[in-house]
Structures are given as C-alpha cells and as structure tokens.
Structure 1
Amino acid sequence: MKTDILIIGSGPVGATYARILSEQKPHAKILMIDAGPKVSDKIGQHTKNIADPKAMETAQILSQGPKKTPYPMISVAERAMAVQRGELSADILARAGTHLVLDQIDDIKNNEMPSISMSTNIGGMGIHWTCACPTPGNDEKITIIPENEMSKALAKAREILNVTQSAFPSSPESEAILNILNQTLGTNHAENRQAQPMPLACKTDEAGNRYWTASDVILGNTLENPNFELRSETICRRLVIGKLVNLEIGKKTENTNNNYLITNDQFSITGAEIEHIHSGKKETVEAKIVIVAADPLRTPQLLWASGIRPKALGHYLNEHPFVFTFVELDKDLVKKHSKNRKSEIENRKSNDPTVGVFWVPFDAPNHPFHGQIMHMDLSPMKTTIEETENGILSDSNPKSQIVNRKSIVGLGWGCLKESNFDDQIVFSETEKDYFGMPKMNFKFQYTDNDLASIEAAKAYQKKVVNSFGKEIKDGGQTLMPPGTSLHYEGSTRMGAENDGESVCDTYSQVWNFDNLFVGGNGVIPIPTASNPTLTSVALAVRSCERIVQIL
C-alpha cells in the first residue's frame, strides 16, 4: 500500500505527530501502526479512566507483552528492597501495565538496568503514566534549540496534553504538605520554582471528576479523519532504504566507528516492511514521510535492524536516579499548617488512593533535584462497624463511616545522571527478543559524580522527611534499581551538527535521511531529573514544522 505519512508507535508522541499533521495536512494519508493490541473499548484511553476495576486490570494485562497475568501489587519501595536483597524475578521487577525487556532471570542478573521495562499496547506507556508534566529547570533545558522556539513548543505541548495544576482539590492535607515543603525549600529559588501542585495532564468536569490524558485525548478529531488509519498488533520489521549515493550500508572504515560514513550524501526511506503479528500477514508500505516513535528502546532497535546505525545510536542512554521513601502525615501538622475545615478527601468518589500530587522543581544550584510528592489516602473509602440489612454501604447509610484513615506521603527525589557514550543498548546480531526483533542488553554505570548527586538527593530528601515526621517502617529511603523510572533518554539523541555524537537534528530528522524522523524521550540529548513527556511532545510539535514543509 501507499501512504503519505507512516507513524510507527501510538503513544503520546506518535499521537502528537498524527494530530498536528492531520490538522495541517488534512488530505494527507496517515497510517499509524503499533505492535500492541487495543486494550479497552475506547482507543488509547488511560487505564485510570476505566471505571470497572476488572476491566482496568484486563487492559493492564493486555499491555504486558509476554506476561499475561497480573503483577503482584507491591510498592516501589518493596520492589527496590527485594532487588537489594538479591530477590530478582520478573514478577518483582515489573509493574502493572508494563513488561520487562529482559524477561529471563539470567539476563536480568547479568544486566546493569535490571528493571528496564516497556508497554506494548495502543497508546503505549501513555495509558499507564502518572501524567506529570513539570516544566524543565535551568540545567534541564535543551540549549541547542533557541529558547523562544522551545518555549513556544512547550506551550503547545501543554495545550495538547491539557496540563493543569488544579486536577486535585485543595484540602487541609495539601495545604500542610505545600507549606512544609516550602518551609524546607526556603526562599532562595528562581521565579515560580517554589513547591507547588504538580502540573498534570488531566481535565476535570464541574463535579470534580478527572479524565487523564492519553492518546485518545491527544488524537482528538484525528480518529474521525477518513485519511487516518490506525492498525493494532502490527509490527514494523525493517525500514527500506533507497537512493544510496556513494555509500554502502553496513560498511565500516578505519577512521570511524559508524556503520555508515558521516557525509553530505542523502538517503530516503522508500517504505517499511510490516507484519500483522497474529495472522503473520506481511506487506511493504510505501511512504513519503516515516516517523519512528515507538519508544526510547524500540525506536533505535528498528533503526539498527534496518541497517541505520550511526555511531550514537543506542548510546548515551540516560535515566535519572530516583530515591523514594514514605512518611505518614502527622495530623497535628495538618492542623498547624492549614485552615480548620473539613478534608475534601473524605468525600472522594474514586477508588484511586492518590488524592494529591505536588512538585518541588529542579532549580540548580539551590535545589538540583526534582521532587515528586504523592499524597495517598490508604484508608477504605467506606467501612462499617456492623453489617447493614442488604450489605450495601452508601452515603445515606448512617452506619457507614470512615475509620482508621491514614494519609501517606510518598516522596520521590530525582537527580541528574552524567551523559556517557558507554551507557548503551547493545543489540544482538543473532539473538531475537519476544517480538522477533534484535535482542537488547544494557550497559549502565553510575560515575563518582553520579553517586555524589545521589547522596546529595538523599540528604535533601531526609531533610524534608524530618519536617514531616518519621518514615514508615519498611518504607524507608531507597535508591530504585536502574530502569525503574521508565524515563529513558538519549538513545536517539538530537544534536546541532552531524558529527557522530547524535542521531538526528533539532527537528528530529535523522542525519543523512530526507524523510526519516524519530520521536520520543530518546531524542532528548541532555540529562534531566524531571518527567520527560512534556519535553518529548514539545519536540514532536517542533518536528512537525519541518515535516509540513517537506510534504
């Protein structure tokens, strides 16, 4: 078949490309494919928007690739402590809605990113994410893009994602949490970088019901465009390269580690070999523009499998270290730091225990960390002292009451990790993964500077914890095992020039190719401590400017 635009990957970034290009070029044919299945009635919706708990669990299981049973519901701290004890298993390391890249226990033990995971479904990991969209801090900014252009792209990304800081209602607990955080942080910070509600990709209605942003929201009216087609359970095996000029793909030379030379020669992707996973049906799609936005792991994997192997591909793999701990919010502190009014959380309708998310922004040098604070109400929504006549509890039932309420605060602190060429994805020439693509292994080491940053993050987090009270027993400060954050960057990094240290330019166009673009967190060229999705969507917005010019 023929199409104008082929998009590989249906997560937030792929959906952004589809939406903008559909709006800008409504008559262009767009084909989007994803290796994963449709997991709910509504295409690409966030699992937190699925009201039926059983249907939500089914959606998570369908996203888990080879793992077709529920993962044990253990906390991130329990998971990390199990790893530290050497209790490595595929069950412990993954989380609901994701599956480990390394699904064999020997591979897990022999790799330096044991928890590295992905989701395989329509909507990608975007149907499972926390929706946190913090604005990058000073040292997290991509300086090779003019600041005014990046600010404009970030603003558009917020609009696409429906970013708000009002997803959760104010409560005495939230007031206390923010007051305590800001007292600890102090006043020595940049403008608007004080502790505040986390910017979240979410819409609320007049009744306060939340609808979390995922690919369904991002795509919007794109799904109604007759020129747009979305295929599930369809994998791209290889990109077909044409128009080779004085260049042999796969040839190595003595003066470079590249699999092709750094030259001004231009190439085109003439098509893509795709396969429907269940039926095995294969076909070649001809496309004018190809966008690979699979994820930071499978995007470089596809390029590598296609013989597109620039020196930087899969290298400079980065993920911020993340330290997590839990405290029980002291009720006396709530009274001290907030107005005396009834807590909003007592009237919550959702089964989701999260009732507030807060942000301590990255702001070097005063606070060179990213703080993400989760307020969780771990008491049952309703309970009763004795049985009712029909066993049903309701607001009108006078015997229904809330007892043993516990407000738990989870405090996560991330710091920058130095970017290094040797932190990398290693693709196998012979072995295949679960999907029949080149098997991936991982090299990832903390430098002395990284270890010092981690200790500094721990010390600052401990300072915050002491302001709240005491850590929960068995929920103490823990450095999460590499791969846990799911925020993988750098594997298809952008650069200002084609010098072998990057895969694409600042418009996400792959060097030496006139119609190949890459998208996702892997494009981010610098270390960050904050959640990267907002930046990745902004980079896709900017990339569309170039694509519209080409079409």
Structure 2
Amino acid sequence: MTTSPTIAIVGSGPIGSTYARLLLEGLPDANVIMFEAGPQLTEIPGESVRNIPDPEEKERARERSQGPQAGAFRKSLGIPESAVVEGMFTARGGTHLLDFGGPGSAYADTFPAAAASTNVGGMGAHWTCATPAPAFSERIPFIGDDEWDGLIAKAEELLHVQRSAFGDSGVGAAIRALLTEEFGSEVPEGYGPGTLPVSGDPQPDGSMRWAGADVVLGPLADPSSDLAERFELRDLTLVRRVEHDGPRVTGVTVEDLRTHETSFVAADLVVVAADAFRSPQLLWASGIRPTALGHYLTEHPVVISTVALDGERMSRHATEEQLDAELARRATNPADPVAAVNRIPFSEPNHPFSLQVMYAENPPFQLDPTHPAAGNRWGYVNMGYGMRKSPRFEDAVTFDDGDLDYRGFPNMTIHYELTEKENAEIADGTEHLRRAGQALGTFVAEPRLLPNGSSLHYQGTMRMGDADDGTSVADPYSRVWGHENLIVGGNALIPTATTMNPTLMSVAIAVRGARQAVADLGA
C-alpha cells in the first residue's frame, strides 16, 4: 500500500461521510475524494434542508435533489412536470421515484413508492432525523453485544443524537402516559413508551438545528480545518464504473455532469455508499456481480393513521398551561416547528413493531369545518407502525445490460412480495395501532397500509454476512467478498429484519468498516 493512499468514496450521505471522516482521522497521510451525482443544496455541504428558514428557498433545494423529476431535467426526458402515473405513490419532497413512468425509468410495479435523492448529503438532506437503535433480533448476530454497543455510541456521537429531545413537553408526556396505560405491562423494562431519539442540536429558542451529513463530516466541512485540506467533494460528478484488475480495485471512472467529460481517478480504496438500489447497480455495471447482489431486498411495511387527541384523557396528565406552552414553542419556528415525538420501540416477543407518534396542532390534511374533530383544542397525532419484512432471495432488484436507464446504466427491475408471514404481522401491527389510537382519542384517518417502498428504508441488497456462501455481498467489515480493496456501505448492508429507521444502525456498521479499513491501509 502506498504511504499516502487515495480513497474514492461514491455517495455523500451520512455513510459516505462517516467513511471520509474516520479514514482521514485515522490515516494522517490519506486523501479522500468524494463523488456525488447531484448538486450541493446548501452553503455547508450536506446540511439538512429542514434548516433553511425561507420556505421558497427550501422548496428550491428540495426540487434540485429530485433527479430525473427535477424541473428542466424532467422536460429533457419528455416527462411533463405535472405527470402522475396511475397507481403510484407520490414521492416525498426532495426525492424522486425510481419508476417515474418516463423513458429510462426503472420497473417497480411491485414496489411503486421506491424513491431516492440525488444531492450532496443524500437522504440526509431530507431526513426526518429519527435515530432509534436496533434491538433484539434486529441486531446483527455476528457482532458481539459489547462491540455493538460501542459502535452505536460512536454512531450517536457522529450524528449528534439527542435522546431526550421533546422530553420537556407536557403534551408529549401526557401522550406517553396514555400509551403506557395501554401497553406498559406488555413490553420489557426500558422498551415502553418514550421519546424518539433524533439527530440535531437544540437551540436556545427551543428549536432544533437538524442534523444532516454535515455533522458527520464535521471538520471536513470546515475549510479552515487541517482535515479539510485532504478532502475533496465533487458534486455533479457521476461514477460510471469501479475499475478493477481481477480482485484488486484500481479506481473509478467518473463523468463530470457539467461538461460530460469522463476521466479515471486512481484509488487505493473505493467505498461505494450511494443507496440500496444505485450502489448494487454500479457494482453490476462494473462487472462486480456476487450472487447475492441486489437480492434479499427488505424495508419495513408501514401502517399510518391520524388521531384527534381526547381532551378529557389528556387533561389527566397535562394542564392547559402546558398545552399553551407547547403551542407557543411551535409558533416560534413555523417553517419547521419542534413537535413532541414519542415512540414504542421494537421488542420481543410481544411488540415486534416500532410505533412513532408525532404531535401536531393541525392534521396533515384539511378537515371539513363541520367535522367533530375540526379545530380540536388538544391537537392531533400522526402515528405509524413499522413491521418486519423477512429477507428472501426472491425479493430483489435485478439489472438488464440490454435495457439502459436514463443515466445509461443497466436498468433496474424490482421484484417484491409480502408473504403470509408479513401479512400476519401487518394485521397484528394494525390492531396495535388501532389500540394506540383508541387510547389517545378518535381516528380522523383510519389505519392504512402504505404502498411498498413508502418507508424509504431499503435494506439487504448488499447484505453483509459472516461467510462467503453466496448469501451475502460483503464480509463482517463491509468488504466485498473476493475483492481486496472494495467496501460497500449503507442500509443495503443490513441483513436482518428490522422495523425502525436504519440510519443509526448503518452508521454503526460504517464505523466498524472504517476502523478495519484504517487498520488495513495502515498495515
């Protein structure tokens, strides 16, 4: 290995940023070049667009990250700006559907809500900032508990995780009290209703500066930092291929999307951390095709609802003054007010789900003024239950060399099916959601299962394993089997069935991979 290694990182989200920071901190002579196909949205690279105070500027930032569905780029593909494909679930702001219905679109009939972001910071720029930790069977079995706890702690440090955010909300406390009355006796100690851990930094006015990839980059995003001198971020630069000579990776071929010129960048280590669809697509296009690549696709099915809080029940645990205080706090930052967010985490055997309960003074849709719950004094909660999807080889994204997508890559087809096992757990989770809603108030939107892909938490397509037996893409340290210097990162590595937001888990996995890479390169 060279004394001054060059490391190429594909993708600028929290995972790529974790590798960049830890590799530069651990290797004093290394240089990192990070490639991102999308634009930089904020002055600080990777900052959350939720922190942009001006609503119009925030909307422009989201629009710029919508890939083939963004403004002029949509038109260049012949996709009308107002096009809606029948049966599809509209992508969230800042994301774009993989199956958008135009030329070069992916094929995702069975996974219609599959979406991605294309921008500096990746999904971290639009992220809800929820950072629960995996528990019980969600954890990776070949990583010991003591080491796992340390990895989670480091991931929480990198992401600026706040465990007690919203803990001072009297309204939030009342919601937790009602949920505890309903579920407290059914879950293990420490796994009952509580506040949802989130990533961000509380501000003096009670608002939050939400975290994005910028907080993970840390000193790398500060031009005055010594580490920043060895870090280069190239936005609007598409990695076309990971080049390799047999088992050894030699670098990457990239296209400057401003000039459309291509060039080769030599690297001693390549980290591919785009997302759970485009990372395996890049490996496939590069001729790196492990048997499990693209397979074992999972997410967590989501059932959602909206409930009007019952004033009489809430008043048993919170005062009118506490409600007024919560409403006043929310009014200080109307562009992105801090809400009380509670949860019941995954636990076994009686609660193999994750519940999130977000307080809001208004429902997410317009209620008829004559509706009994219209203008509800105590407000509303938007609730969602996440359920497990068992990994199966048949659930996969596959690639076709003879059918190219809008970027010129082998096009994607997603194959996905909920089995009887998942449907049974969805039914059980829906009943739990109904119990939670009835404990808190009255449904104004009945529980409903969102279309496949709606979670945005796609996992398994580059899963890690403890043996090179064809059921995994990467080893326990995120190194691609059969390659000496190729690492993959992101939610796609998670091999277990999970129910929660996977960002913290994926950063913990990246911490392990980065530490091993430092040892390998420094040897």
The TM-score normalised by the length of structure 1 is 0.85
What is residue 96 of structure 1 aligned with on the other side?
A: 93
What is residue 80 of structure 2 aligned with on the other side?
A: none
SS in 1 for 2:201: strand
User: Conserved in 1, the CA contact under 8 Å of 2:167 and 2:195?
Assistant: no
Alpha-carbon shift at residue 347 of structure 1 (Å): 1.7
Alpha-carbon shift at residue 341 of structure 1 (Å): 3.1
What is residue 542 of structure 1 aligned with on the other side?
A: 512
What is residue 409 of structure 1 aligned with on the other side?
A: 381
Residues 164/303 of structure 1: CA separation in 2 closer, same or farther (3 Å cut): same
What is residue 286 of structure 1 aligned with on the other side?
A: 266
What is residue 497 of structure 2 aligned with on the other side?
A: 527
CA distance in 1, matches of 2:408, 2:145: 42
CA distance in 2, matches of 1:10, 1:445: 31
Q: Which of 228, 239, 243 is the aligned partner of 2:242?
A: 239
Alpha-carbon shift at residue 330 of structure 1 (Å): 1.7
User: Conserved in 1, the CA contact under 8 Å of 2:131 and 2:503?
Assistant: yes
1:418 matched to 2:390:
yes
What is residue 319 of structure 1 aligned with on the other side?
A: 299
CA distance in 1, matches of 2:108, 2:229: 48
SS in 2 for 1:342: helix
User: Conserved in 1, the CA contact under 8 Å of 2:473 and 2:481?
Assistant: yes
**Number of residues of Structure 1 aligned to a counterpart in Structure 2:** 487
What is residue 370 of structure 1 aligned with on the other side?
A: 354
Using the TM superposition, name which of 228-237 and 347-356 deviates more. 347-356
Alpha-carbon shift at residue 108 of structure 1 (Å): 8.1
Give per-residue Cα distances to partners, 1:359-391, cap 9 Å, x unaligned.
1010111111111111112289xxxxxxxxxxx
Using the TM superposition, name which of 34-43 and 507-516 deviates more. 34-43
Q: Which of 471, 483, 488 is the aligned partner of 1:501?
A: 471
**One-letter amino acid of the structure 1 residue matched with residue 426 of structure 2:** I
**One-letter amino acid of the structure 2 residue matched with residue 29 of structure 1:** N
CA distance in 2, matches of 1:110, 1:292: 23
Residues 109/522 of structure 1: CA separation in 2 closer, same or farther (3 Å cut): closer
Q: Tell which structure's C-alpha radius of gyration is larger.
A: 1
Alpha-carbon shift at residue 67 of structure 1 (Å): 1.6
CA distance in 1, matches of 2:454, 2:173: 30
Q: Which of 266, 275, 280 is the aligned partner of 1:300?
A: 280
CA distance in 2, matches of 1:87, 1:485: 20
What is residue 389 of structure 1 aligned with on the other side?
A: none
**One-letter amino acid of the structure 2 residue matched with residue 431 of structure 1:** D
1:276 matched to 2:275:
no
**One-letter amino acid of the structure 1 residue matched with residue 200 of structure 2:** C
User: Conserved in 2, the CA contact under 8 Å of 1:353 and 1:376?
Assistant: no
What is residue 439 of structure 1 aligned with on the other side?
A: 411
Give per-residue Cα distances to partners, 1:61-80, cap 9 Å, x unaligned.
0010122259xxxxxxxxxx
Give per-residue Cα distances to partners, 1:225-270, cap 9 Å, x unaligned.
211100000011011111x3xxxxxxxxxxxxxxxxxxxxxx1101
User: Conserved in 2, the CA contact under 8 Å of 1:167 and 1:210?
Assistant: no
CA distance in 2, matches of 1:328, 1:69: 37
Task: Give 1:166-177 correspondences, 5 Å limit.
Answer: 166-168=164-166, 170-177=168-175
Give per-residue Cα distances to partners, 1:191-237, cap 9 Å, x unaligned.
31111000001111333231111111110111332111000000110
Give per-residue Cα distances to partners, 1:63-120, cap 9 Å, x unaligned.
10122259xxxxxxxxxxxx9xx9425xx52110000011107978862000000000
CA distance in 2, matches of 1:116, 1:379: 25
CA distance in 2, matches of 1:180, 1:404: 18
Residues 468/404 of structure 1: CA separation in 2 closer, same or farther (3 Å cut): closer
Alpha-carbon shift at residue 165 of structure 1 (Å): 2.4
Alpha-carbon shift at residue 167 of structure 1 (Å): 2.6
CA distance in 1, matches of 2:71, 2:179: 39
Q: What is the RMSD computed on CA atoms of the aligned residues?
A: 2.1
What is residue 333 of structure 2 aligned with on the other side?
A: 350
Alpha-carbon shift at residue 405 of structure 1 (Å): 5.1
Alpha-carbon shift at residue 23 of structure 1 (Å): 1.2
Task: Give 1:172-211 correspondences, 5 Å limit.
Answer: 172-211=170-209
Gaps of 5+ in 1: 71-82, 245-266, 381-402
User: Conserved in 1, the CA contact under 8 Å of 2:391 and 2:497?
Assistant: yes
User: Conserved in 2, the CA contact under 8 Å of 1:7 and 1:292?
Assistant: yes
Alpha-carbon shift at residue 26 of structure 1 (Å): 3.1
Gaps of 5+ in 2: 73-83, 365-374
Alpha-carbon shift at residue 406 of structure 1 (Å): 5.9
**One-letter amino acid of the structure 2 residue matched with residue 429 of structure 1:** D
Alpha-carbon shift at residue 6 of structure 1 (Å): 0.5
1:481 matched to 2:464:
no
Task: Give 1:19-58 correspondences, 5 Å limit.
Answer: 19-58=21-60
SS in 2 for 1:337: coil
**One-letter amino acid of the structure 1 residue matched with residue 97 of structure 2:** L
CA distance in 2, matches of 1:109, 1:432: 12
Residues 411/42 of structure 1: CA separation in 2 closer, same or farther (3 Å cut): same
Alpha-carbon shift at residue 52 of structure 1 (Å): 0.9
CA distance in 1, matches of 2:108, 2:256: 33
User: Conserved in 2, the CA contact under 8 Å of 1:301 and 1:438?
Assistant: yes
User: Conserved in 2, the CA contact under 8 Å of 1:153 and 1:542?
Assistant: yes
User: Conserved in 2, the CA contact under 8 Å of 1:354 and 1:376?
Assistant: no
CA distance in 2, matches of 1:480, 1:44: 29
SS in 2 for 1:145: coil
Residues 480/512 of structure 1: CA separation in 2 closer, same or farther (3 Å cut): same
SS in 2 for 1:186: helix
Task: Give 1:26-175 correspondences, 5 Å limit.
Answer: 26-69=28-71, 87-89=86-88, 92-104=89-101, 111-168=109-166, 170-175=168-173
CA distance in 2, matches of 1:336, 1:293: 48
CA distance in 2, matches of 1:434, 1:165: 42
Give per-residue Cα distances to partners, 1:388-407, cap 9 Å, x unaligned.
xxxxxxxxxxxxxxx87561
Alpha-carbon shift at residue 185 of structure 1 (Å): 1.0
CA distance in 1, matches of 2:186, 2:434: 19
CA distance in 1, matches of 2:363, 2:397: 42
What is residue 386 of structure 1 aligned with on the other side?
A: none
Using the TM superposition, name which of 493-502 and 371-380 deviates more. 371-380
User: Conserved in 2, the CA contact under 8 Å of 1:181 and 1:195?
Assistant: yes
What is residue 394 of structure 1 aligned with on the other side?
A: none
Residues 240/546 of structure 1: CA separation in 2 closer, same or farther (3 Å cut): same
What is residue 255 of structure 1 aligned with on the other side?
A: none
Query: Aligned residues: percent identity?
Result: 40
CA distance in 2, matches of 1:463, 1:93: 29
User: Conserved in 2, the CA contact under 8 Å of 1:88 and 1:108?
Assistant: no
Alpha-carbon shift at residue 353 of structure 1 (Å): 5.1
**One-letter amino acid of the structure 2 residue matched with residue 519 of structure 1:** G
CA distance in 2, matches of 1:226, 1:56: 30
Residues 459/359 of structure 1: CA separation in 2 closer, same or farther (3 Å cut): same
User: Conserved in 2, the CA contact under 8 Å of 1:179 and 1:337?
Assistant: yes
Give per-residue Cα distances to partners, 1:387-437, cap 9 Å, x unaligned.
xxxxxxxxxxxxxxxx87561201100111111000000111122222222
Give per-residue Cα distances to partners, 1:12-52, cap 9 Å, x unaligned.
00011111111112321110010010112221110111111
CA distance in 2, matches of 1:531, 1:507: 21
Alpha-carbon shift at residue 3 of structure 1 (Å): 6.0
